[in-house]
C-alpha cells in the first residue's frame, strides 16, 4: 500500500476547505512495540498518534508539541509528542483492572495485566468497547508547545469534552482556531489513520452548502474503510465528485533514541552520596524512560566513572 507513514495536506479547490490525512503503519507498530497495551488502550493511543501528527504538521519552525489526555478513569494518561520534522513518540498509563475491554465468552481474564510483549488482541474495526468517556473519566487535555524563539513553552488546559478522541480534539481545535473542524480517527494493530477537515473563513462565500455537503460525506466513512485504503484512494472513495488538490506528502517516523548524556547529567546533579545510597540499597541504578520505553541501568563502576575527575589536558 503506497504512501504510508506520511501526512498528505490537501485542499478542496472550489470550496475553501482545507484538510490533511495521515496513515501510519510501521511508525505506529514501532511506537506500539513491546508495550503490552490492552486493545482499548492501544486504540486510544493510535487515534491520538494520528491526530497529534496532523496538528504537528502545522509547526512552521523548529519545536515540539506535546499533548496529554489526563483523566480519572481506567486509562489515566495518554501522552503524544511530535516535533516539526514529524518525529513521533508516545505512551499510555492505565489501571490493570479486569474488565477494561469487552471480551468474548471464555476469554481469560488476566490478559490486561501489563506485560513485556505484544500489543494485546485488537477488536475488529468499529467493534463496541467501553466508551471513551468511561475509559478516560473526567479530566483535561493539555498542550505544551515549545518552539524556537519562545522565552518559555506555551501551555493550554481544556476539559475533556466529547465522546471520542476525535470529538475531544474537534472541540479543542474549533475553540482554539475559531474555525469549524472535523476529525475522523481509526486505529488497529497494523495502522493508525486520521482525517482532518477545516472550514476556512471564505468557504460560505464560495459555496454556501459546501461545508454541510462535505460533512455529510465524511459521516459515511467507517473505521474499516479508513484502515483498509491508501490515503489517496480514501479521499476518492469519500469525496468522489470533489476537486481535491493534494500537496506533497511529508514522512512521519517514530523517533526515540537513547540519551545517555541526559541520564549521566541527571545522576551527576543528584550527587555521589545519593547515587551511592541507591547502589547500596538496590545494587544498581535503574532509570525508566516511559515515553520511549527504555530502561537505563548503571552498576557501581558505571556510576563511579561519572564522578571521576577529568583527565588533565596535556599541552
Beta pairing class for 17-24 and 63-71:
unpaired
Which residues are within 8 A (CB) of 9 and not within 5 positions of it... i.e. 6 or more apart?
A: 18, 19, 20, 57, 246, 247, 250
CB 20 within 8 A of CB 163: no
Q: Rg of the chain over CA atoms, in angstroms? A: 22
As a whole number, the mean pLDDT across the chain is 87
124 pLDDT more than 90? no
Judged by average pLDDT, the poorest of 38-52, 103-117, 209-223, 290-304 is: 103-117
DSSP 178: -
Of the pLDDT bands very low, low, confident and very high (cuts 50, 70, 90), residue 218 is very high
Q: What is the mean pLDDT of residues 152-177?
A: 93
| Local confidence band at 315 (pLDDT 50, 70, 90 cut-offs) | low
What average pLDDT does the segment 184-192 reach? 96
Full-model pTM: 0.83
- Sign for the pseudo-dihedral over CA of 5, 30, 88, 77: positive
pLDDT 10s digits, 72-101: 999 999 999 999 999 999 999 998 654 454
Domains of the chain: 6-254 (3.55.30.10), 260-306 (3.90.1280.10)
Amino acid at each position: 500500500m503506497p504512501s504510508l507513514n506520511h501526512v498528505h495536506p490537501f485542499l478542496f479547490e472550489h470550496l475553501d476547505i482545507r484538510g490533511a490525512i495521515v496513515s501510519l503503519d510501521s511508525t505506529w507498530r514501532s511506537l506500539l512495540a513491546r508495550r503490552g497495551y490492552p486493545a482499548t488502550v492501544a486504540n486510544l493511543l493510535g487515534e491520538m498518534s494520528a491526530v497529534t501528527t496532523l496538528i504537528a504538521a502545522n509547526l512552521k519552525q523548529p519545536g515540539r508539541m506535546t499533548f496529554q489526555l489526563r483523566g480519572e478513569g481506567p486509562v489515566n494518561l495518554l501522552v503524544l509528542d511530535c516535533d516539526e520534522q514529524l518525529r513521533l513518540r508516545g505512551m499510555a498509563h492505565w489501571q490493570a483492572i479486569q474488565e477494561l475491554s469487552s471480551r468474548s465468552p471464555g476469554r481469560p481474564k488476566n490478559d490486561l495485566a501489563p506485560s513485556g510483549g505484544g500489543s494485546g488482541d485488537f477488536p475488529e474495526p468499529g467493534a463496541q468497547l467501553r466508551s471513551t468517556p468511561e475509559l478516560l473519566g473526567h479530566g483535561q487535555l493539555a498542550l505544551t508547545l515549545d518552539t524556537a524563539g519562545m522565552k518559555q513553552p506555551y501551555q493550554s488546559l481544556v476539559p475533556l469534552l466529547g465522546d471520542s478522541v476525535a470529538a475531544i480534539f474537534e472541540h479543542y481545535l474549533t475553540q482554539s482556531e475559531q474555525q469549524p473542524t472535523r476529525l475522523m480517527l481509526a486505529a488497529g494493530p497494523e495502522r493508525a489513520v486520521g482525517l482532518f477537515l477545516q472550514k476556512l473563513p471564505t468557504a460560505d462565500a464560495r459555496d454556501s452548502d459546501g461545508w454541510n455537503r462535505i460533512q455529510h460525506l465524511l459521516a459515511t466513512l467507517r473505521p474499516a474503510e479508513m484502515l483498509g485504503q491508501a490515503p489517496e484512494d480514501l479521499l476518492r472513495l469519500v469525496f468522489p465528485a470533489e476537486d481535491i488538490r493534494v500537496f506533497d506528502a511529508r514522512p512521519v517516523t517514530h523517533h526515540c533514541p537513547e540519551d545517555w548524556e541526559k541520564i549521566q547529567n541527571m545522576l551527576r546533579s543528584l550527587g555521589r552520596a545519593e547515587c551511592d545510597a541507591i547502589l547500596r540499597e538496590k545494587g544498581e541504578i535503574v532509570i525508566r524512560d516511559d515515553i520511549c520505553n527504555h530502561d537505563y541501568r548503571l552498576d557501581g563502576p558505571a556510576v563511579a566513572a561519572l564522578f571521576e575527575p577529568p583527565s588533565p589536558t596535556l599541552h
